[in-house]
Amino acid sequence: MKVIRTVNEMVEIATSVKANDQTIGFVPTMGYLHDGHAKLIDQCRKESQIVIVSIFVNPLQFGPNEDFERYPRDEKRDCMIAESHGVDYIFIPSVEEMYRDNSSIKLQVVERTNVLCGRSRAGHFDGVVTVLAKLFHITKADLAFFGMKDAQQIAVVKAFVDDLNFSVKIRPVPTIREDDGLARSSRNVYLSQQERADAASLYSSLKVGQHLIIDGEKNPVMIIDEVKKNIHRHTNGTIDYVEILSYPDLKAVTVINQQIIIAIAVNFQKARLIDNLVINEHGIIVRDPFE
């Protein structure tokens, strides 16, 4: 595995790979890799001849009161994990390398952002698509792999590449969970011991909603109410949102008769956790919502 730190070197390598007609798979990350990232890399390895992973904590997607400075970082550990999972190149640029001058162009996402996390994080997804536009061009990726834990992000990215005719294909990968159901996240390290125990109830609350749909409940208001009750009953966290929306369009629904997402966000003392299930109208989990 080779560590790359400059845009020019990464472009040169990617250009050489493409000249040899090799498929480039790409996993964009903000580092502090865990098993969820490893699953993305493993899937990328299965589908690609060359695997590139980026580690870049993107300041453009953090708000003024968010955790950019204290976001966990451990480059040495990340490189060890990446190499052990067969990564060919790991791209670790500095902020100065990625954003050298004041940009003349700004990207703005106008759909799929006024719900879920996007409602309280103005400009967040503008920052996401800006850095991905650069990374897709720099790595010349054929395939890009994203975890379904960040389902809103994938929905936005899919619209972004479709609308702007990027050639990269978006590959969603199911959420990786702990044995008790908690979604893997770099922010889980912020949880206290009691919060960590309580956090397992987020997934079980989503399952309550899923089973209501399986049992024939079609009213999203009723399902949301039961999901909230389960979260309140089993955690001391503060609910940010519980929503049911069409997926990937992320529009409000009055009856469940199509593919939907049940999504939640809960604030604990030092961490905000998100989770979701994407299911069809019968309550069955959908593995690839873009098929």
Question: In the chain, what percentage of residues exceed pLDDT 70?
Answer: 100
pLDDT at residue 125 in the model: 93
Residue 31 is labelled as binding a ligand: yes
| Residue 234 known to be catalytic | no
Phi then psi for 183, rounded to 5 degrees? Answer: -65, 135
Residue 177 clears pLDDT 90, i.e. is over it: yes
pLDDT at residue 62 in the model: 84
CB atoms under 10 Å from CB of 188, counted, come to 18
Of the candidates 37, 124, 137, 211, the residue annotated as catalytic is 37
Residue 120 clears pLDDT 80, i.e. is over it: no
Residue 222 is labelled as binding a ligand: no
pLDDT at residue 66 in the model: 72
Q: Enter the tokens of residue 61.
A: 């997607």
| CATH architecture, domain defined by 2-173 | 3-Layer(aba) Sandwich (3.40)
Q: Which residues pair with 172 in a beta bridge?
A: 146
Residue 30 is labelled as binding a ligand: yes
Half-sphere exposure of 54 (CA within 13 A, CB side): 28
Residue 68 clears pLDDT 90, i.e. is over it: no
Structure confidence by residue, pLDDT tens digits, 86-104: 999 999 999 999 998 778 8
Residue 163 is labelled as binding a ligand: no
Residue 104 is labelled as binding a ligand: no
Domain spans of the chain, in order of start: 2-173, 186-279
What one-letter code names the amino acid at 168? V
Question: In the chain, what percentage of residues exceed pLDDT 90?
Answer: 85
> Model's pTM, two decimal places?
0.90
Cα distances from 241 to residues 51, 116, 182, 273, in angstroms, run 36, 7, 17, 11
Residue 216 is labelled as binding a ligand: no
Tell me the fold of 186-279.
Pantoate--beta-alanine Ligase; Chain: A,domain 2 (3.30.1300)
